[in-house]
Amino acid sequence: MPKHCHLSLFKGTLLLFGGDLVIFSLSLLAGCYFGSALLPPVQDFLAQIKGSLLFLGLAYFGIFYLADLYDYYQDFRQLPNLLRVMVCALVGAGLALITFLLLNRFLPGRYLLLFQVISFTLLITLWRYMFSTAAMPVRLRRPALVVGAGRAGQEIAALVQLHPASGLEIKGFVDDDPHKIGCLFRGLPVLGTTGQLQSLIRQHRVKYLILALAPEKAPQLLSTLTSLHLNGCRLLDTLGLYEVLRKKIPVEYLSDSWLFLAILNRRRWFYRVGKRVFDLLVAGSLLLLSWPLWVAIMVAIRWDTPGPVFFRQSRLGQNGKPFKILKFRSMYHDSATIEPRWTVLNDPRVTRVGRFLRRTHLDELPQLLNVLQGDMSLIGPRAEWDVIGRNFREKVPVYRPGRRAGDPPGTKVLCGYQDRLPYYHYRLMVKPGMTGWAQVMLPYAGSSLEELKKKLEYDLYYLKNMGFFLDLAILLKTVRIVLFGKGK
C-alpha cells in the first residue's frame, strides 16, 4: 500500500482545513479591531456571542465541504475554482448573518461580522491561491519507474499523470520485452529491462517503483525487488495506487486470496457493534421526526394513481439471504413485477409523484424499517434485486489464446469458468445499505455489465476500507447529493 499517497492526501486536506481555521481566526480578530469603537470590551463581547461565532464557523466550513472545496486535487489558481471559494465564503457569511441578526441580542455585533466577512473572503481567496502555488511545483515530485509496460502499467501511468497531487513523477517504464525498448507509451519511454533496474534507478534518481507485472513474472524478480527495497527504494503495487487515487479497486487486477484477506481484516467486532447501535439510534430518530412527511407522501401516492402506498420486492441481503425491501411506490401498480429490469431515465412506468420521490430520494424512506429489523444498514452496498443478482453469479466460460505451435491465429482455448461479474459475491459479506460508497461516487448507474462493474469496484473499496471515518464521509456526501439532486 502506498502509504506516502495516503499521508500526502490526508496532510493536504488537513492543511487546507487548518489554514481555513487560521484565516477564520485572523478575520475575527480583524473584525474586533475595526469594529472595536462600536462594541463593548472585546473579551466581554466575544463571550456574549460565542454561540453565534460557533455557528458562523460551522456555516463557513459546512458550505466549503458541500461545495467540495476540501478536495486536495483542485488547483485554486484557476479562476472557476477561485470564484467558487469567494462565492461559498459569501454564502456562508450570509447564512450566518441571518441567524446572527435573528438570535443575537447585541445589535452592534453586526459590524464585527461585516468586517469579519470582508477580511475572511479576501484572506481565504489569497490563502487558497497560495496553497495551490506551493503544492503544485514540479520540485515536489517523487521520481518513479513503472515495472511492466503492458496494459496494467500503461493504465497506472495514465492514472498517476491525471493525479499530480499524488507527488509521483513517472520517468518511464521497465519491461523485459525487447520489442518495447525505446517505445513510447502514454508519452513515456520504455527505458530498459528489469536487469537494468539498479542502473536506471541511479541514473534517474528514482525513489519509487510501481509494480505492474503479470503474476507469473513477479516471483522471478523477488530477490531483485527485495534488494532494492532494502536499499531505500519504495515499492508500490497497482491495486494500492488505484485504491488511493481513484477510491475504488479494479477487478481486472484482483485475486480471490488478496481480496478475501483484505476484507477479512476489516471485520472487527467493535465496528460491527458500534455500527448497529448507530443504525438503531439514527433510524429510530429519523422515523420519529419524519412521520408528518410519511403522511403527506402516502396521501400524494393514493391521490396520484390507484394501488398500494408501499412497494415490496425481494432483495439479496447479507450472505445472500433474501429479504423484502420496503419503498414508497413510485411506479404504476404491478409494472415493476412484469419484467425484471432496471429503471431507466424517463421510464414510462414511473408516476408523476414517483418522479418527485425518486429525484429527492424520498421513496427510500421506508427502508428505515428494514434497518430497524436488521435486514439493512444505513451504510453499505446497494441491495440488488435477487432475480438480477443471480444472473451476476452465473458461471460463464473463460478462454485464452491458443499457445501451441500448430494453433491457427485467433484460436481460443477453454481454460475455466468464472462468475459473469467476478467478485460480486463479496459484496454480500455485509448488510446492504440505504446509501453507500458506490451510490455517492457514481452518477445514476446504468444496467450494462460495464457500468455495474464500475459500481462493484467502489463497493469492493468500501468492503476493504469500511470503518467509522469512511461511514461518516459517506453520510456527508449523501447529504450533499440529497441537497443538490445528484447520484443514485
How do residues 41-100 score in pLDDT, each as one tens digit? Answer: 555 555 555 555 666 677 778 888 877 788 766 778 878 788 888 888 888 777 766 666
Give 3-state DSSP helix, strand, coil % of the chain, rounded to 5: 60, 15, 25
Supply the pTM of this predicted model: 0.72
Contacts of 368 (CB under 8 A, 6+ apart): 283, 286, 287, 434
Structure confidence at residue 218 (pLDDT): 66
Contacts of 278 (CB under 8 A, 6+ apart): 378, 471
CA distance 280 to 157: 45
Quickly count helices (H) and strands (E) in the chain: 18, 12
Structure confidence at residue 138 (pLDDT): 45
Q: Identify the CATH homologous superfamily for domain 141-246.
A: NAD(P)-binding Rossmann-like Domain (3.40.50.720)
Q: Under DSSP, is residue 285 helix (H, G, I), strand (E, B) or coil? A: helix
**Mean pLDDT per segment of 10 residues, for the chain of length 488 residues?**
50 81 80 57 56 68 80 76 84 71 54 75 89 64 87 90 80 90 90 89 90 73 83 85 86 78 71 92 93 94 90 90 92 64 70 88 94 95 77 57 57 55 84 93 70 88 87 85 65
Beta partners for residue 407, in sequence order:
none
Q: What angle do CA 335, 341, 344 make, to 5 degrees?
A: 85
- Short-list 292, 295, 348, 302, CA closest to 329: 302
Q: Return the beta strands (E) in 216-321 as ranges.
A: 234-237, 310-316
Domains of the chain, by residue range, sit at 3-135, 141-246, 269-484
Q: Do 364 and 434 meet the contact criterion of CB atoms below 8 Å apart?
A: yes
At 304, give phi and psi (nearest 5°).
Answer: -75, -50
Q: Do 313 and 285 meet the contact criterion of CB atoms below 8 Å apart?
A: no
Structure confidence at residue 47 (pLDDT): 58
